[in-house]
Amino acid sequence: MDMLDASTMLLAVLFIQGCSSAVQPPDASAPPPPTKTVFDPLTQDLQKARGVQKTVEEQAARAGNGIDSQERGDSPQ
């Protein structure tokens, strides 16, 4: 029974050690800077398109507010 107890204890300790998280050095935890990819021009185009869409939506809202105020008979702004 003595050998069984020792092997059980050893397996339990090894299991706990195997499942514990390893401590990483502090410099390894910082992510590296993003590398340039072939998709960078495409993402820049998407950002530019989103900016244009935002401008168009703002102009449409401004025009819609102007039309609504004219329909109500408010003075033009």
pLDDT at site 52: 97
Predicted pLDDT of residue 13: 86
Least confident of 16-25, 35-44, 55-64: 16-25
What is the pLDDT confidence band of residue 51, given thresholds at 50, 70 and 90? very high
Cα Rg of the chain (Å, integer): 32
**Structure-token pair, residue 20:** 């514990």
Asked if pLDDT for residue 23 goes beyond 80, the answer is: no
pLDDT in the model for residue 50: 96
21-30 burial code (b ≥16 CB/10 A, e <16): eeeeeeeeee
